[in-house]
Amino acid sequence: MMEQFIEIKTANPDSLLFYRMGDFYELFFDDAREASQALGITLTKRGKHLGKDIPMCGVPVHAAEGYLERLIALGYKVAVCEQTEDPAEAKKRGAKSVVKRDVIRLITPGTLTEDSLLDASSSNYLAAVARVKSGDEGQLYGLSWLELSTGDYGVLALDHLRLGAELARIDAREVIIADHMLMDEDIRPLTDTLRASFSPVPRAFFDGATAEDRLLDYFGLSTLDGHGHYQRVELMAASAILAYVEKTQLGARPPLNPPQRELSGRTMAIDSATRANLELVRTLSGDKKGSLLSIIDQTVTGGGSRMLAARLSAPLAELDPILARQDSVGWFLENSWIREDLLEDLKAAPDMPRALSRLALDRGGPRDMSAIRSGFATVFALMDHLASAHTETSLPSELARAQAALSAMPQELGQLLSNALDDEMPLQKRDGGFVRSGYDESLDELRSLRDESRRVIASLQADYAEQTGIKSVKVKHNNVLGYFVEVTANNADRLMTAPLNETFIHRQTLANAVRFTTTELADLEARIASAGAKVVAIELSIFDQLRDAILASQDLIKQAAQAIAVLDVSIALARLAEERNYCRPRVDDSLAFDIHNGRHPVVEIALQKDGSDPFVANDCDLSPKDSHLHGRIWLMTGPNMAGKSTFLRQNALIAILAQMGSFVPADAAHIGLVDRLFSRVGAADDLARGRSTFMVEMVETAAILNQAGERSLVILDEIGRGTATFDGLSIAWATIENLHEVNRARALFATHYHELTVLHEKLPRLINATVKVKEWQGDVVFLHQIVPGAADRSYGIQVAKLAGLPDGVIARARDVLQHLEEGDRQSPAATIDDLPLFSVSMQKQELVEAEPDALRDTLQVIDPDDMSPREAHEALYKLKALLQG
Binding residues, by number, are 638-645
Give the SS3 label for residue 278.
helix
Backbone phi and psi for residue 802, each to the nearest 5 degrees, phi listed first = -65, -30
Half-sphere exposure of 733 (CA within 13 A, CB side): 21
Asked if residue 516 lies in contact with residue 505, where contact means CB atoms within 8 angstroms, the answer is yes
Q: How many Å is the Cα radius of gyration of the chain?
A: 37
Q: CA 372, CA 280: separation in Å to the nearest integer?
A: 32
* Bond preceding residue 499 cis, omega within 30 of 0: yes
- The interaxial angle of helices 64-73 and 29-39, nearest 10 deg, is 90
> Comparing C-alpha atoms, which of 25, 5, 26 is closest to residue 98?
5
Give the SS3 label for residue 881.
helix
Q: What is the 3-state secondary structure (H, E, C) of 88-157?
A: HHHHHCCCCCCCCEEEEEEECCCCCCCHHHCCCCCCCEEEEEEEEECHHHCEEEEEEEEECCCCEEEEEE
Strands 668-672 and 593-598: antiparallel
DSSP 60: E
Distance of alpha carbon 238 from its chain centroid, rounded? 19
Q: CA 260, CA 273: separation in Å to the nearest integer?
A: 27
Half-sphere exposure of 483 (CA within 13 A, CB side): 21
Q: How far is CA 764 from CA 416, 511, 633, 648, 739, in A?
A: 71, 122, 10, 21, 12
Element at 629 (helix H, strand E): none
**Sequence ranges of the binding site for ATP:** 638-645
Asked if residue 524 lies in contact with residue 484, where contact means CB atoms within 8 angstroms, the answer is no
Asked if residue 664 lies in contact with residue 658, where contact means CB atoms within 8 angstroms, the answer is yes
Give the SS3 label for residue 714.
strand
Phi-psi region of 867 (alpha: psi -120 to 50; beta: other; left: phi over 0): beta
Backbone phi and psi for residue 838, each to the nearest 5 degrees, phi listed first = -65, 140
Asked if residue 513 lies in contact with residue 488, where contact means CB atoms within 8 angstroms, the answer is yes
Q: CA 565, CA 306: separation in Å to the nearest integer?
A: 8
DSSP 759: G
